[in-house]
Amino acid sequence: MNSKTIRMRLVEVDDADYILSLRINPAYNNFLSSVDGDLESQIKWIKDYKKDELEKKQFYFIIERLDGTRCGTVRIYDISDESFCWGSWILDSNKTKYAAVESAFLIYEFGFNILKCNQSHFEVMNDNSGVIKFHRRMGAELINQDEENHYFIIRKDQVMKSKEELAHLL
């Protein structure tokens, strides 16, 4: 799946070292679940994940610039007939200027057009104010909040409206 300056492709075992480097880097992992700092564990996780991918239970993507330089990850999971969750969203220093907006729209394109869902649900850690602000600007609706997370939904029609408003960036 391509956008103006980036594309997304499914994760492969060869991406394990890159993913691990992101997951253990304090610049990128503040708002992610912790992982073992072990390459073999990451490889095993990807191999197990690929089984889920075949069964359409989850999808894990590498985000890369159009020249092939990897610049992030994002994952879709908790998929139902109506909704999907997305997270594990990391963009590194190789990202393009609009990689966040472009990758979000690519995720929504996959969820709405490939998975045929009508909405997305996701949570953002309370301290992750930049991402909370991003999702609110996209039109996400806060449905709950607890001591750890903000919980959001966003419907397909709202994403389409946001995409029209931001078309000049895409």
Write out pLDDT tens, residues 52-100: 999 999 999 999 999 999 999 999 999 999 999 999 898 999 999 999 9
Residue 68 CA to residue 91 CA, distance in Å, equals 14
In a domain, 17, yes or no: yes
Residue 33 CA to residue 82 CA, distance in Å, equals 26
Residue 116, helix vs strand vs coil: coil
In a domain, 86, yes or no: yes
Q: Which residues pair with 8 in a beta bridge?
A: 63
With beta carbons less than 8 A apart as the criterion, state whether 105 and 94 touch.
no
State the residue range of the domain holding 117.
6-169
- What number of other Cβ atoms are within 10 A of residue 57's Cβ? 13
If one counts the domains in the chain, the total is 1
Compute the mean pLDDT over every residue in the chain, rounded to the nearest whole number: 91
- What number of other Cβ atoms are within 10 A of residue 27's Cβ? 9
pLDDT of residue 165: 87
Q: Tell me, what CATH number does 144's domain have?
A: 3.40.630.30
In a domain, 53, yes or no: yes
User: Which has the higher per-residue pLDDT, 34 or 80?
Assistant: 80
In a domain, 159, yes or no: yes
Write out pLDDT tens, residues 104-114: 999 999 999 99
- What is the biggest distance separating any 2 CA atoms in the chain, rounded to whole angstroms? 44
In a domain, 158, yes or no: yes
In a domain, 1, yes or no: no
Q: What are 131's two structure tokens? A: 């991402």
In a domain, 132, yes or no: yes
